[in-house]
Chains A and B, each alone.
Chain A
Amino acid sequence: MEQSEENKKKVVVRVCIGTGGLAAGGKEVIEAFKKAITDFCVDIELDFTCHYQKVGCRGFCARDVLVDVVDGDTSVTYQGIKPDIAKRIVEEHLIKGEPVKEWLIDASYYAFHAKQLKILLKDCGTIDPEDIQAYINVGGYSGIKKIVSAMTPEDVINEIKASAIRGRGGAGFPTGVKWEACRKAPGDVRYIVCNADEGDPGAFMDRSIIEGNPHSVVEGLMIAAYAIGASLGYVYIRAEYPAAVDRLKLAIAQAHELGYLGNNLFGSGFHFDVRIKLGAGAFVCGEETALIASIEGERGMPRAKPPFPVHKGLWGKPTVINNVETLSNIPYIIRNGAAWYSAIGTGKSKGTKVFALTGKVKNTGLIEVPMGIRLGEIIYDIGGGIIGNKQFKAVQTGGPSGGCIPAELLDTPVDFESLGRVGSIIGSGGMVVLDETDCMVNIAKFFLEFTQAESCGKCVPCRIGTKRLLEILDRITRGLGKEGDIELLETLCADVKAASLCGLGQTAPNPILSTLKYFRGEYEAHIREKKCPAKVCKDLLTYSIIEEVCTGCGACRRACPAGAIAGDKKKPHRIDPEKCIKCGACFDVCKFASVSRE
């Protein structure tokens, strides 16, 4: 008997179109599913209707494209799906009811999630970020509705203070305290600003939250606005994140349509609207006073504090600036209560933190963990250990303002105070894992190149200090380091830290100080022995061919871009040191390990 379309059961195919999903071909996978379904429809009548859901980042980007097939109460997840596999899934799973075993997620997928605690990311990756109703269906916007009818702004502030949430933008300032200061500042116009500049070059938490659950940020802004007494909010977002900007615009438009933004919201007399400001590419604009200057249309130069933005911020009015992740937590705190939130985490660091786990770990991706989890658990249990079974060397947290933490300290709990004690910071949440093939002097130099280039130039200690620091690091990596350079670095670092105007300069020396603290031997090897123990710094390496091992296959000769390698077929080859540009192409291409790099 023929079923009418409405009576057929619904099968949902959920495809990740976060940044990782898109790059792995998420859109093509959806098209392939659609095509496969249409093709099968020609010959047979299907007993189900297929619906497609695009979702944001699910965290495990290393396994993209991730696809869920949801059939009634059962949901099956596939990993590493390419368009050509879609047809098989449609035929074997959707039509015949047999999941395709070889593409199902495996034990490491479960291990990746076992120690995580997902609050913010739970909805990221299951709800359609382009549909406000999807957010409403999981309880979205119930927080703002609750407070406008049943709580005074002071009640809201007290609730946030009781939750003890601290800002996720880097400094870890208690959010409730900040809101209260702004509320109490004199004046009748106030602003709330969401900092979505995400400048740490190795982090993408904020991007993923906005792409995967934009409405949580909008609701967070609304709640903050109600609490501090603002009727206009801004989101300052990097122009480099076009997909996030589009999602956010759509979310704001949908909220307007439903009457969630605008005048007299929910009949309460509360007015609120949100505007988007595109950042134009300057790291320092993530600093709150520079961000204000940038919204006002000027060069994004930091201003001296005090006055703090809560007293004198945007257009001179009291302003709260909060990070994306901070704001995204707010609706969940209001919905579930301060006691629920403060039960998660450690003494002074409550709740969860989202980290971008990247670098040399097997399982890279976006993770959310309770505060207090140990670094080692993140790297080995969630991250699955180091790629290629190489030796772990350090984990860099906090980006250009943070530091490198060595293997002996992997027991350190991840919270604001503990990471500070070992010379690093939680920062915005970048976590880059380094292995034995990473040179710590090179890493320090990498960050100084960044901060030096991004220094706005307003204050001398930062502008010139970072430049001098970089020069010293540069000469050390080129084999021109001198006795005394390490001490010089230490003195200069202390000066730059003490005298810089804003957080950029005050924290710029951290990558140097932490690598000096834990990996001083590497600096000394560069300076005294002119050797790079990790074999990274080009000027300190010599390439040669071990004649006894070389089979004369010629692979290195063909790979050499400088024409520095010569030799007859099946006879040992030789590298001309005069011509060698030390690119390492021969080393990478040799299958017999006959290229030596010393």
Chain B
Amino acid sequence: MNDILDGIITKYREKEGNVIFLLQETQDALGYIPEEAVNYFSEKLEIPPSRFYGVVTFYSQFHLKPRGKNIVSVCCGTACHVKGGSKIAERIQRDLGLAADGETTEDGKFTFEIVRCVGACSIAPVVLVNNSAYAEMSADSTSKLIKELKKKESSGTK
């Protein structure tokens, strides 16, 4: 991991010392921001860890815990909300057995997230699976989608 982090530090020095950039690169490479990474940066760059955590917790893009292999998100922006986004959210939680936004299944295969508008409001309500958008979803069609995903996952691991 330290090699990756050193590479990021080199790029960071070229980028006018931008902490957000540093963290975005870290998350791209590792999928989340591990505590060890923050400590490593802190030591090498002589920046207190609190400055990193300040930024990490401010922006919703950053995650301090690893996320699942598949990210199933439902949009709860205004257009999706009025077309029943919250019913879909409830259904996903039920189908994946997750209690809240941001949780990951025990097997690490699925993370459920609520997002606020992905800019596809004319085809609301929208469900995203790993960044591909599914248009005009209902609770039932979402259940079907999740069933297929689960099937794909279990056959893939054999």
Question: Which residues does A use to contact B, with CB under 8 Å?
Answer: 19-20, 22-24, 61-62, 64, 198, 200-204, 207-208, 239-242, 278, 280-283, 294, 296-300, 356-360, 364-366, 396, 399, 430, 432, 434, 438, 443, 446-447, 450, 456, 561, 583-585
Q: Answer yes or no: B82 CB below 8 A from chain A CBs.
A: yes
Which residues on A sit within 8 Å (CB–CB) of B55?
297-299
Cβ B24 vs Cβ A278 within 8 A: yes
Main SS of the interface on chain B? mixed
Q: Answer yes or no: B100 CB below 8 A from chain A CBs.
A: no
Stretch of B35-43, B59-67, B104-112, B149-157 at the chain-chain interface: B59-67
Which residues on A sit within 8 Å (CB–CB) of B126?
23
Q: Answer yes or no: B123 CB below 8 A from chain A CBs.
A: yes
Cβ B120 vs Cβ A202 within 8 A: no
Q: Select B133's contact among A23, A280, A456, A583, beta carbons within 8 Å.
A: A23
A-B contact pairs, 5 of them (CB 8 A): A23-B133, A280-B61, A296-B18, A356-B121, A359-B83
Which residues on B sit within 8 Å (CB–CB) of A19?
118-120, 123, 133
> Min CB distance, B87 to chain A, in Å?
8
Q: Which of A62, A202, A283 has the most CB of B within 10 A?
A: A202
Question: Which residues does B use to contact A, with CB under 8 Å?
Answer: 16-21, 23-24, 54-55, 58-62, 76-79, 81-83, 87, 90, 94, 115-124, 126, 131-135, 139
> Min CB distance, A362 to chain B, in Å?
12
Q: Select B24's contact among A204, A280, A585, beta carbons within 8 Å.
A: A280
Cβ A207 vs Cβ B79 within 8 A: no
Closest 5 CB pairs of A and B: A202-B78, A201-B77, A280-B59, A204-B119, A297-B18
* A294, B19: Cα distance in complex, Å: 10
Cβ B121 vs Cβ A358 within 8 A: yes
Which residues on A sit within 8 Å (CB–CB) of B59?
280-282, 300
> Min CB distance, B126 to chain A, in Å?
8
Which residues on A sit within 8 Å (CB–CB) of B16?
297
Which residues on B sit within 8 Å (CB–CB) of A584?
87
* A283, B24: Cα distance in complex, Å: 18
With A23-B123, A201-B76 given, name 8 new contacts (CB 8 A): A20-B135, A198-B119, A281-B61, A297-B17, A299-B55, A359-B83, A396-B78, A447-B78
* CB-CB nearest in chain A for B115: A240
**Given A62-B123, A204-B120, A364-B121, does the pair A281, B78 have CB atoms closer than 8 Å?**
no
* A396, B77: Cα distance in complex, Å: 13
> Min CB distance, B23 to chain A, in Å?
8
Cβ A207 vs Cβ B119 within 8 A: yes
Cβ A201 vs Cβ B117 within 8 A: yes
* CB-CB nearest in chain B for A22: B133
Q: Select A282's contact among B23, B58, B78, beta carbons within 8 Å.
A: B58
Which residues on A sit within 8 Å (CB–CB) of B135?
20, 23-24
**Given A24-B135, A432-B79, does the pair A299, B122 have CB atoms closer than 8 Å?**
no
Which residues on B sit within 8 Å (CB–CB) of A294?
20
> Min CB distance, B76 to chain A, in Å?
8
* A361, B90: Cα distance in complex, Å: 25
* A360, B94: Cα distance in complex, Å: 27
Cβ B62 vs Cβ A280 within 8 A: yes
* A28, B124: Cα distance in complex, Å: 21
> Min CB distance, B37 to chain A, in Å?
16
Cβ A297 vs Cβ B78 within 8 A: no
Which residues on A sit within 8 Å (CB–CB) of B124?
358-359, 364
Cβ B20 vs Cβ A20 within 8 A: no
Cβ B120 vs Cβ A20 within 8 A: yes
* A172, B157: Cα distance in complex, Å: 55
* CB-CB nearest in chain B for A198: B119
Which residues on B sit within 8 Å (CB–CB) of A64?
123
Which residues on A sit within 8 Å (CB–CB) of B83?
359-360
* A242, B61: Cα distance in complex, Å: 13
Q: Which of A280, A365, A438 has the most CB of B within 10 A?
A: A280
Q: Select A202's contact among B20, B54, B117, B132, beta carbons within 8 Å.
A: B117
Which residues on A sit within 8 Å (CB–CB) of B17?
297
**Given A20-B135, A23-B133, does the pair A446, B78 have CB atoms closer than 8 Å?**
yes
Which residues on B sit within 8 Å (CB–CB) of A240?
115, 118-119
> Min CB distance, A112 to chain B, in Å?
12
Q: Select B58's contact among A200, A203, A299, A450, beta carbons within 8 Å.
A: A299
Which residues on A sit within 8 Å (CB–CB) of B76?
201
Which residues on B sit within 8 Å (CB–CB) of A203?
117, 119, 121
Which residues on B sit within 8 Å (CB–CB) of A202?
77-79, 117, 121
* CB-CB nearest in chain B for A356: B121
* A223, B90: Cα distance in complex, Å: 49
Cβ A241 vs Cβ B119 within 8 A: yes
Cβ A456 vs Cβ B78 within 8 A: no
* A583, B94: Cα distance in complex, Å: 12
* CB-CB nearest in chain A for B23: A280
* A366, B123: Cα distance in complex, Å: 11
Cβ A281 vs Cβ B60 within 8 A: yes
> Min CB distance, B86 to chain A, in Å?
9
* A240, B133: Cα distance in complex, Å: 12
> Min CB distance, B52 to chain A, in Å?
11
Which residues on B sit within 8 Å (CB–CB) of A434?
82
> Min CB distance, A496 to chain B, in Å?
20
Cβ A450 vs Cβ B54 within 8 A: no
Cβ B61 vs Cβ A364 within 8 A: no
Cβ A360 vs Cβ B120 within 8 A: no
Which residues on B sit within 8 Å (CB–CB) of A23?
120, 123, 126, 132-135
Cβ A450 vs Cβ B120 within 8 A: no
* A356, B117: Cα distance in complex, Å: 12
* A585, B76: Cα distance in complex, Å: 20
